[in-house]
Amino acid sequence: MAKPVLFVLSAPSGAGKSTLIHRVRISLPDLFYSVSCTTRPPRKGEADSVDYHFINRDLFIQMIERGDFLEWKEVHGSLYGTPIQPIQSALRGGRRCIMDIDVKGATDVFSRIKESIGIFIMPPDLQTLENRLIQRGADSEDSIRLRLQNAREEIEFATLFSYKIVNDNLDRAVRDLIDIILLESCPMDKP
C-alpha cells in the first residue's frame, strides 16, 4: 500500500499542467484526483463531478460557512473551491492524491494538510511558452502578453514548492512526475 500523500500541482498558464496530469492519471489509476466545486456554468464538453462539481452560489456559501473547503477563491465573479472531505477520506484510506491548483491556493493547502507535497511545473522558457500560447490560438495578442507577464511573476513562486519539473518534453515531464509520486508515496522509510 502506498503512503498517503497529497501532491499539489501548480503551474503558470500554458506550462502544460492539464495534459501532464491527464497522462499521469492514466499511468497511475489508483491516484485520487480532487474534483473542485464551482459556481460557474459548465463549458461545452465538461461533465458534472468529473471536471467540476457544478453548484449554486447559495450552496457554495453554506459550504464556506460549514468549513467544507480546504481553500476557495473568487475569479471574475465565479467561486471555486476544493472540498476537504474527499481528500481527507482518501488520505485516511491510505491513498495517494493529486490536486491541481493556483499558487495561492497551494500555499493554503501546505499550511492545512501536513501530508501535502508541492510540485511546480515550469514552462521550458518564456519564448516556448509564448509559441505554445500562439499555437493554441485561444488568446488575443493582449491576452498572450498578459499571460506571459503573469507567467514571469508566477515562476518566482516556484521556491515555495518542494519539486520543480521543467516541461520542455512532455514524455520526460510525465516520467519525472510519476517518479516523484512513486518515490514520495513509497511506504518504506529511508534508512
CB of 154 to a second copy, least distance (A): 9
Report the candidate in 154, 72, 74, 145 with the shortest Cα–Cα distance to residue 105.
72
Q: Are 103 and 9 in contact (CB under 8 A)?
A: no
Is 143 among the residues that bind a second copy (CB under 8 A)? no
User: Hey, which residues between 72 and 91 contact a second copy (CB under 8 A)?
Assistant: 72-74, 77
Question: Should residue 150 be labelled a site residue for a second copy when binding is judged by CB under 8 A?
Answer: yes
Q: How far apart are CA 161 and CA 9, in angstroms?
A: 9
158: nearest Cα among 108, 128, 123, 116: 123
Q: Indicate which single residue of 43, 45, 58, 92 sits in contact with a second copy (rule: CB under 8 A).
A: 58
Q: Which stretch binds a second copy (CB under 8 A): 85-93, 119-127, 137-145, 155-163?
A: 155-163
Q: 156 vs 189, which CB is nearer to a second copy?
A: 156
Q: Torsion-angle region of residue 76: left (phi > 0), alpha (psi -120 to 50) or beta?
A: left
Q: Which three cell numbers stand for residue 141?
A: 495578442
CA distance 52 to 179: 27
Could you give phi then psi for residue 61, rounded to 5 degrees?
A: -65, -35
Residue 145 in contact with a second copy, rule: CB under 8 A: no
CB of 40 within 8 A of CB of 78? yes
| Contact window for a second copy (CB under 8 A) among 4-12, 120-128, 152-160, 173-181 | 152-160
Stretch that binds a second copy, among 9-17, 54-62, 82-90, 131-139 (CB under 8 A): 54-62
Cα–Cα dist 61/50, whole Å: 22
Size of the site for a second copy (CB under 8 A): 21
Q: Is residue 176 part of the contact set for a second copy (CB under 8 A)?
A: no
> Looking at 153, 168, 169, 186, which residue binds a second copy (CB under 8 A)?
153
For a second copy, the binding residue among 141, 156, 171, 189 (CB under 8 A) is 156
The string of DSSP letters for 55-66 reads: --HHHHHHHHHH
Q: What are the residues binding a second copy (CB under 8 A)?
A: 57-58, 61, 64-65, 67, 72-74, 77, 104, 107-108, 111, 149-150, 153, 156-157, 159-160
